Amino acid sequence: MCGIVGIVSIKDTPINSETIKAMNNKIYRRGPDDEGFYFSDRVCLGMRRLSIIDIAAGHQPIFNEDNSVVIVFNGEIYNHNELRAQLKEKGHVFRTNSDTEVIVHLYEEYGIKFLDYLRGMFGLCIWDSNKKTGYLCRDRFGIKPIFTAITDSGHLLFASELKAIFASDEIKKIISPAGLDAYLAYNYIPAPLTIYEGIFKLPPAHYIAFTENNISAPIQYWDANDIPAQQEPSIDEIDNLIKDSITVHMESDVPIGTFLSGGIDSSLVTAVASTHEKFHSTFTIGFENSGHLYDERPLAKLVADRYSVKNSVFHNVKPNPEKILTEAINAFDEPFADDSIIPTWEICELASKQLKVCLTGLGGDELFGGYYRYLGIQYYGLYAKLPLFLRNLLFKTATKVFSKSSSRRMNHIMRFLRAGRLTAAEAYTSYLTALDISERENIYSAGYRSKINDQATKDLMLNHFNKCTSQSLLQKAIYTDINTYVAEDILALSDRVSMWHSLELRVPLLDHILFEKCFKIKDALKIGSKEKKILLRKVARKYLPSPLFQAKKQGFESPTSTWINTSLKEYIDTMLDPQRIAAQGIFNARQIQTLIDKHRDKSQDNSKIIFSLLMFQIWHKEIYSA
């Protein structure tokens, strides 16, 4: 696990070697064990290394036999031993046992098709000095990030983190209205956007080709649409695929732990991982004085006890939200408002004091149908068969009858009825939207509102839903999530927070071999009328205590709504002060104060809006204005 940076000159503009060093210094936390550089007139590369595989000889950059091909690589390739053996049979000579060197020789053998052979997570750059051609590549699910920018001087800049791009001093900080509106709509910023004008995320499963005088647009090399229809897998087959994925994700020269939440996904990962030689411990947290809803420890302990995990850590935390959020924004470099950032921060900090690598259960919900919104899109398919006039009437009637209700359950019902009048793509987009356009328009200042393109924000989701070639609404929803929410919310959160603590997180349930087997299985094996993750639960029952299957899904979240009125109250009053807001010229200060007041008198739950505005203001103060 590492971080990478690079500069490519496409107009023969000189590259200052000190610039690449400055960029590399900014990502020190991603790899405090080692650093390395490659310098040439047209291409300069840098990397930071967290040593996990071939600790002694895995120094980067790594070259082929004649030093004509060079790579910097962030990630892990879990099938590298198998690939190395195949390449040796073809005559390739290796200097190390690292997974990084395998990629170089794969490129020599197959060109850019080398990507098809990789099983793992990666953000990488390969430069072929003989062919004067390079490739910047991101893994299929976007587990590892790549940020890019093209400067006025003719430089392509890329890095694992935004802060390294700005270390070049070639890019100005200008807020992107498109990025900001996407952030407020979804609580994160989907690729290719960032919060900045002129800086972009390379989308998952894409690469950029470059020469000394040309840069391609991002090119997609893998698409779930292209997965061929297969015979429905048996429970035993899925069981074996899951075990195989977890096993290959245990590849390491250092001990490995797991994050154990007490949910089905992380518990299953822990159950299988605990049988391996490299397994070390589990990590679980609970919040003080926040009630049972947010305490993962009782169910997690059942799993740890069943598998006799002696070094499990069950930590009771009383976090300092103000401190964590300020540090977290420095890890992200852009606004991010998924409130699971706080427990993720706590558990990464806890685990990093003992280990360099942990496995998580992320991806199980997307692959096997674990979200309530997946039930929602299933119900939509039935509800949409009613005549439109009747759906409109039901929504209008419910609006009148329940207009004063503030319960979460009623909010979900109203969202469903509102979405029921839309197309399937628009309905699912509405499920994903934390703040719809009418709410966003109200909190923008009059002057800033004219910069916002609502349709472009919606298209970030609509385009993926409509691109999915399946007739299944559930598959369309999962396809949308895989290309947006998974990469730039849950995986971005895992990457930025873990690497800030110099900890590598691995996600065995987001393995492309497992995904390709499960994506197109029939909906009934994933979701019933009430039950979610049907197939995964059947597999997991072989491994896990029965109380886990009776527990209500709670997610990895924080008691944010309570904190807004308690431990974060003074901080919010400072950061969302009307004078501060008005001076920026972006938001309507009066409307924001109204949202805060209604949350505090408990007439409305505005926690998500307030939290997203708070995180934007922290970013504005700590990063943008710094």
Percent helix, strand, coil in the chain (nearest 5)? 45, 15, 40
Kindly state the tokens that stand for 592. 């924001």
Point out the catalytic residue in the list 2, 44, 125, 358: 2
Cβ count within 10 A of residue 404: 7
Q: How many CB atoms lie within 10 A of CB 118?
A: 23
Tokens 């209205």 label which residue? 177
Three-state SS annotation for 67-83: CCEEEEEEEEECCHHHH
Place of tokens 């750059």: 125
Question: Which of 584, 586, 583 is closest to 448 using CA atoms?
Answer: 586
The H helix count followed by the E strand count for the chain is 29, 17
Distance CA 273, CA 359 (A): 9
The residues with which 49 forms a beta bridge, in sequence order, are 2, 34
Pairing of strands 357-359, 256-259: parallel
Question: Quick check: 397 and 436 in contact, CB under 8 A?
Answer: no
Q: Which of 119, 108, 124 is nearest to 207 (CA)?
A: 124
Q: Is 2 a catalytic site residue?
A: yes
* DSSP code per residue over 394-406: HHHHHHHHTTT--
Comparing C-alpha atoms, which of 230, 248, 317, 257 is closest to residue 518? 230
Burial category of 378 from C-beta neighbours within 10 Å (exposed 0-12, middle 13-18, buried 19 and up): buried
Question: Which residue, among 152, 200, 155, 124, has the nearest Cα to 8 in the 3D structure?
Answer: 155
Identify which of 285, 299, 294 has the alpha carbon closest to the alpha carbon of residue 351: 285
Of 462, 189, 233, nearest to 368 by C-alpha is 233
Q: Which pair of structure tokens corresponds to residue 414?
A: 């109203």
CA atoms of 305 and 560, how far apart (whole Å): 31
Are the CB atoms for 52 and 94 separated by under 8 Å? no
Q: Beta-carbon neighbour count of residue 446 at 10 Å?
A: 9
Question: What SS3 class is residue 316?
Answer: strand
φ, ψ of residue 196 to 5 degrees: the values are -110, 145
Instruction: With CA atoms as reference, report the closest residue to 53 among 136, 141, 122, 127.
Output: 122
**DSSP string over 49-66:** E---SSTTT--SSEE-TT
Q: How far apart (Å, rounded) are the C-alpha atoms in residues 286 and 315?
A: 6
H or E stretch covering 34: strand 34-39
The DSSP call for residue 12 is -
The residues, any chain, with a CB within 8 Å of residue 134's CB and separated by 6 or more, are 8, 43, 125, 126, 127, 128, 209, 210, 211
Q: Which residues are catalytic?
A: 2
